[in-house]
Structure 1
Amino acid sequence: MEWIIKTMQAAPELAIFLTLALGVALGKIKIKGFSLGSVTGVLLMGVLVGQLDLVISPTVKSAFFLIFLFAVGYSVGPQFVQSLKKGGLPQIAFACLVCIACLLTAWGAAIIAGFDIGNTVGLIAGANTISAVIGVATDTINQLTIGSGLKTEMINKIPVAYAVTYIFGTAGTAWFLSSIGPKILGGDIVKQTKEYEASLGGSIQDEDSSLGYAYNGATFRVIQANSSFFDTQRTVQEVEDLLATKGWPVYVERIRPINGVIIQEPTLDNKVSKGDNLVLNGPLETILTDENFIGKEVADIELLDFRVETLKVIVSNKKVQGTTLQELKDSKDRHGVVILKMYRGKATLPLLSNVKVQHGDVLEIEGRKSDVDRFAKSLGFAERPTNVTDLLYMGLGIFLGGLLGSLTFRTGNIPLSLSASGGVLIMGIIFGWLRSRRPTFGAIPEPAIWLMNNLGLNIFIAIVGISAGPDFIAGLKASGLSLFVAGIFVSIVPMLVGLLLGKYVFKFHPAITLGACAGARTTTAALGALEDATKSKVPALSYTTTYAVGNTLLIIWGVVIVLLMS
């Protein structure tokens, strides 16, 4: 053990990865369904490792934090800019007001409790579960015209307050919104959400909301055409028209005529005779229902020997933007293709007929490759799997963001600037939006975004914990209880404000109000709890816009709270 300690003291970079590994493991431990999460686990493990009195260059911490912030901005950029259009203005205003409530509540609680800058920063970061505030505020503290010793003391208090307030910030917010929120909004939340789904093209009678989706997965089955409908020869168009009246559209993908050569890509004019084998493509339950109108299922392995592709497509075609899923379903370009999922930012949207498609949405589609290629081209840009990240684009974005953040204006002795971290966040938003407008450049695959987010943030937090380790216990003893109480106040009050704003000022549907509250506070855990409480994905419709706005403003509050407290 002594050898290991000496090795880490000589090479502190090894301590970072030990902290990362043990912290993630700690964060995964569940007690009655609750876990700390990787960020808090890494922070606490960093504090423990920090007792070894390790010295790590702050440049390492800053570099990983900038990578994380660029990834955050890149991810929310399309939704943030899209929300600025007329249709998203009410949700933008809502998110701004909730974020202002988060700022003012934390500021007020800090003044009442007598917290200094460090504790206040940790309070707003932990109670609002926005870890990035730590880095942004640290940059701003370092710009203040105070002694270096005082700066270090303030910065070391941040992780103490963050750790104390984060647990309730996560679990408490999810509990409050999913359990207390519906009672404040009034009525039967499940019934109200079903009614809202019905207005979007769902079925109010369905117990499982997925049954009301416009599309519900696809399968391929071989059916022999031997019903009375084929007593006279039919065209493919007539067969598909028949099936369309019995349920969701089913398509004829291949034909094997009796004693004939397989027709691999039949047109709507191709003839179907009695006894022909047809490959049908459509939702499983629909095909099983329609089977009786065609004939009986047969095993024809050769006929099913063709390539099926599942593909994600970024919506960038202006003609598609603003259309509903029902209109996409009726599009000729969609023939033979099933829409499996629809993503907007971090949320998976309900596939209800009247849900509108926005620029930057990602549709996951499935079908025969030729059909998928045709439909993808009509939607926008096909995002085929790749492991190549455009490092030129990423590096340039971080560099330009750092330059933007370095611009400083002074009001007396107080410096006003975004700081490098704030500038990189803004530039990430711009670069993410540019990528959605011109998807032919600037690709950063989803797994790379995940790595930049998680590795960047967790290594940053690990170094924060290690650096604060020696002072952590003393800070916890001095302010632990008052911070915990203040954290509950700062977590709950903005959510209460949001519920009342949504109900009485903006007059949102209850499920939309709940989703908007979760988004404005960027609490993904709360979104999951809300979808369980409402038995629907409707809250995700308002989560995306408010998340993009909230994620940006709450991070910038790291600069603002330091200036207010100073």
Structure 2
Amino acid sequence: MSEWFVGTLRNYPELAIFLSLAIGFSIGSRKIAGFSLGNVTATLLAAVVIGQLGITISPNVKSAFFILFIFAIGYGVGPQFMSGLTKEGPKQIGFSLVVLALCLIVPILCARIAGLDLGYTAGLYAGSQTISASIGVASDQISRLGLSPEQVKTYNDQIPIGYAVTYIFGTIGSAIILAQLGPKLIGVDLAKACKDYEAQMGGGDGLEAGLTSAYRQIELRAYRVGNDPSIVGQPVKQIWPGLRVFVERLRRGGAIIDADASTVLAPGDIVAISGRREHIVETITPMLEEVQDRELLDVPAEAIDIFVTNRKVGGLTLLELSETDWARGVYLRKITRNMVEIPALPGTQILRGDILTLVGGRRHMELAIQHLGYADRPVEATDIAFLGAGIVLGGFVGALSYTIGGIPISLSTSGGALLAGLVLGWLRTIRPVFGRIPGPALWLMNTLGLNVFIAVVGITAGPGFVAGLKAVGLSLFLWGAIATAVPMILSVYIGFYVFKFHPAILFGACAGARTTTAALGMIQEAAKSKIPALGYGMPYAIGNTVLTIYGMVIVLLNS
């Protein structure tokens, strides 16, 4: 039975890849003492074990899935990377670049002091900085150094060893430093800082939250208008100033009429009013007689994800948007930026590329879509022609090579695909009628592309993995811990004392620059708030790109 099993995996290596995924994803999400290996590391370790069986896989499989993954990364962060500047954008960019410089310099110094070979150095960098994408870029550059096939294989087999040994502390250590140690280093109470920042942004109990009213339960109720002079005889927009409650439509003389801001109410009208439940209950109900009118309340409504593309909207706060005419009757449920939900507060700025989940009457929603961007309605189809052409175009650009000092240098096909993804993802914010890649499809490209690549790396390196781990394991782990901790600790001090970030968003910015979403989750848990995510978006977009390219830089500086 065992011989048949091993023989089948050797004859059909594609099964070994999917077996690695099945095992990796089964154990990767399991938490022990609040921590987990993560799917990528678990898949790598599973693949290494399976690789002990001596399975041969074409390197083209690894390259194909990695280039799919790297294009998806670029496409996902492109809108924020290319044009997502908030009022603090330049400061966040400057901070990110300083932190990213530390993320390159410190691992290089650690590797040189430890006397590590090139492959271990690239692996230590990838694991300690938790940037799996750099593995593929580093491997591509190593193959272009003009080394013998044997030496190329040796270095490429060292990379996953260095990555596996250093990645666990890279993830867990970063989370602990930013969520637990970081606030103590600068003497702040993170939970209190987030509450204070939320108050500055217009949040908190008892304050009008503009469009953030949609973050709470929305009511639509019917009322009979009496003879109250404060209600009849004037436009509805003047009746309840400061409250986001709207007369959606009214029944007058048996006819149902759609209302707008200029509609004037008359005694005997039956009106359908929408708004936050507390406003309806505390303000409207005491003033008007509530009645049952099912036909009047049967207002066509929908909830839609809207992809923000209008440059006039980018940089405006939710409060500013809530005061526009087209925001009438429209409520916000959530904001998603770089696949992370961010707090919806009156002072939250909207960027091109954000996804706003809105709910409201159909006629109001259509008007909001015209002013915001593109209705990202659920679809199953992906623009495969766009996907294929984008990867090919980027690959051709990346394949261009320049020789400097006898060393050929290029972006590589994967680096070119990343660049293409960035540009095309940004272009879609300008003209969203092309390049449709639904969120679930983008997630699959990202997750499957990376993990198939990692599985092939692990299976290929499997035979030499154990011996390499015995040779450099403990030393590599310790140097990896230093390479992780030093940039993160310094980033806290630099962000707080040099760039003057508010503590509420400082740790989110640190996590974003290092692209460690796991750390962001732990920071938010420690803060008891989603506020830290407001500092995550821009640094994440920059970090994901620069840290990946550093995979090539690491090889060039150590070859």
TM-score by length of 1: 0.93
Moved more, 27-36 or 276-285: 276-285
Give, in whole Å, the separation in 2 of the partners of 1:98 and 1:513: 12
| Corresponding residue number in structure 2 for 1:118 | 119
Q: Quick check: 2:212–2:332 contact (8 Å CA) kept in 1?
A: no
Give, in whole Å, the separation in 2 of the partners of 1:525 and 1:426: 25
| Corresponding residue number in structure 1 for 2:216 | 217
Structure 1 residue 298: Cα displacement: 4.8
Give, in whole Å, the separation in 2 of the partners of 1:225 and 1:84: 48
| Corresponding residue number in structure 1 for 2:511 | 518
Q: Quick check: 1:201–1:212 contact (8 Å CA) kept in 2?
A: no
Give, in whole Å, the separation in 2 of the partners of 1:491 and 1:54: 33
Structure 1 residue 112: Cα displacement: 1.1
Q: Which amino acid aligns with 1:15?
A: A
| Corresponding residue number in structure 2 for 1:356 | 349
Give, in whole Å, the separation in 2 of the partners of 1:217 and 1:193: 20
Structure 1 residue 213: Cα displacement: 4.6
Q: Which residue of 442, 446, 454 maps to 2:447?
A: 454
Give, in whole Å, the separation in 1 of the partners of 2:271 and 2:316: 32
| Corresponding residue number in structure 2 for 1:440 | 433
| Corresponding residue number in structure 2 for 1:190 | 191
Q: How many residues align?
A: 558
- Pair 12,428 (structure 1): closer, same or farther in 2 beyond 3 Å: same
| Corresponding residue number in structure 2 for 1:262 | 256
Moved more, 502-511 or 73-82: 502-511
Q: Quick check: 2:310–2:371 contact (8 Å CA) kept in 1?
A: yes
Q: Quick check: 2:393–2:420 contact (8 Å CA) kept in 1?
A: yes
Give, in whole Å, the separation in 1 of the partners of 2:230 and 2:439: 52
Q: Quick check: 1:346–1:544 contact (8 Å CA) kept in 2?
A: no
Give, in whole Å, the separation in 2 of the partners of 1:338 and 1:267: 16
Give, in whole Å, the separation in 1 of the partners of 2:227 and 2:319: 29
Structure 1 residue 348: Cα displacement: 2.3
- Pair 272,173 (structure 1): closer, same or farther in 2 beyond 3 Å: same
Give, in whole Å, the separation in 2 of the partners of 1:273 and 1:455: 61
Q: Which amino acid aligns with 1:326?
A: L
Structure 1 residue 320: Cα displacement: 2.1
| Corresponding residue number in structure 2 for 1:485 | 478
| Corresponding residue number in structure 2 for 1:200 | 201
- 1:232-275 deviation digits (Å, cap 9, x = unpaired): 9726833x544445xx4111223345x72433x23445554566
Give, in whole Å, the separation in 2 of the partners of 1:219 and 1:85: 30
Give, in whole Å, the separation in 1 of the partners of 2:484 and 2:395: 31
| Corresponding residue number in structure 1 for 2:367 | 374
Q: Which amino acid aligns with 1:365?
A: L
Q: Which residue of 494, 505, 510 maps to 1:501?
A: 494
Q: Which residue of 229, 232, 237 maps to 1:234?
A: 232
| Corresponding residue number in structure 1 for 2:551 | 558
Moved more, 75-84 or 297-306: 297-306
| Corresponding residue number in structure 2 for 1:68 | 69
Structure 1 residue 153: Cα displacement: 1.3
- 1:439-471 deviation digits (Å, cap 9, x = unpaired): 121111111100100010111111111111111
| Corresponding residue number in structure 2 for 1:391 | 384
- Pair 296,159 (structure 1): closer, same or farther in 2 beyond 3 Å: farther
Structure 1 residue 533: Cα displacement: 2.4
- Pair 57,209 (structure 1): closer, same or farther in 2 beyond 3 Å: farther
Correspondence 1:253 to 2:220: no
| Corresponding residue number in structure 2 for 1:292 | 285
Give, in whole Å, the separation in 2 of the partners of 1:16 and 1:196: 47
| Corresponding residue number in structure 1 for 2:108 | 107
Q: How does 1:37-56 map to 2 (within 5 A)?
A: 37-56=38-57
Q: Which amino acid aligns with 1:262?
A: I
Structure 1 residue 520: Cα displacement: 0.5
Structure 1 residue 476: Cα displacement: 1.3
- 1:391-412 deviation digits (Å, cap 9, x = unpaired): 1221111111111111111223
| Corresponding residue number in structure 2 for 1:332 | 325
Give, in whole Å, the separation in 1 of the partners of 2:474 and 2:161: 12
Q: Quick check: 1:236–1:267 contact (8 Å CA) kept in 2?
A: no
Q: Quick check: 2:211–2:322 contact (8 Å CA) kept in 1?
A: no
Give, in whole Å, the separation in 2 of the partners of 1:539 and 1:92: 17
Give, in whole Å, the separation in 2 of the partners of 1:251 and 1:292: 14
Give, in whole Å, the separation in 2 of the partners of 1:195 and 1:212: 20
- Pair 224,87 (structure 1): closer, same or farther in 2 beyond 3 Å: closer
- Pair 406,530 (structure 1): closer, same or farther in 2 beyond 3 Å: same
Moved more, 84-93 or 382-391: 84-93
- Pair 90,276 (structure 1): closer, same or farther in 2 beyond 3 Å: same
- Pair 298,529 (structure 1): closer, same or farther in 2 beyond 3 Å: farther
Structure 1 residue 133: Cα displacement: 1.0
- Pair 233,296 (structure 1): closer, same or farther in 2 beyond 3 Å: closer
Structure 1 residue 299: Cα displacement: 4.8
- Pair 300,15 (structure 1): closer, same or farther in 2 beyond 3 Å: farther
Q: Which amino acid aligns with 1:494?
A: P
Structure 1 residue 13: Cα displacement: 0.9
Q: Quick check: 1:223–1:295 contact (8 Å CA) kept in 2?
A: no
- 1:101-151 deviation digits (Å, cap 9, x = unpaired): 111111111111111111111111111111111111111111112211111
SS in 1 for 2:279: helix
Structure 1 residue 500: Cα displacement: 1.5
| Corresponding residue number in structure 2 for 1:474 | 467
SS in 2 for 1:389: coil
Structure 1 residue 345: Cα displacement: 2.1
Identity %: 47
Structure 1 residue 363: Cα displacement: 1.7
Give, in whole Å, the separation in 2 of the partners of 1:77 and 1:198: 31
- Pair 20,232 (structure 1): closer, same or farther in 2 beyond 3 Å: closer
| Corresponding residue number in structure 2 for 1:306 | 299
Q: Quick check: 1:291–1:297 contact (8 Å CA) kept in 2?
A: no
Give, in whole Å, the separation in 2 of the partners of 1:32 and 1:225: 58
Q: Which residue of 383, 408, 411 maps to 2:404?
A: 411
Give, in whole Å, the separation in 2 of the partners of 1:198 and 1:281: 26
Correspondence 1:97 to 2:91: no
Structure 2: gaps (5+ residues): none
Give, in whole Å, the separation in 2 of the partners of 1:80 and 1:443: 19
Moved more, 133-142 or 307-316: 307-316
Structure 1 residue 276: Cα displacement: 4.9
Give, in whole Å, the separation in 2 of the partners of 1:250 and 1:198: 23
TM-score by length of 2: 0.94
Structure 1 residue 290: Cα displacement: 2.6
Q: How well do the aligned residues superpose, as a CA RMSD in angstroms?
A: 2.4
Q: Quick check: 1:224–1:295 contact (8 Å CA) kept in 2?
A: yes
Structure 1 residue 484: Cα displacement: 1.2
Give, in whole Å, the separation in 2 of the partners of 1:336 and 1:229: 25
Q: Quick check: 1:321–1:357 contact (8 Å CA) kept in 2?
A: yes
Give, in whole Å, the separation in 1 of the partners of 2:279 and 2:169: 46
Structure 1 residue 547: Cα displacement: 0.6
Q: Quick check: 2:213–2:276 contact (8 Å CA) kept in 1?
A: no
Structure 1: gaps (5+ residues): none
Q: Which amino acid aligns with 1:260?
A: G
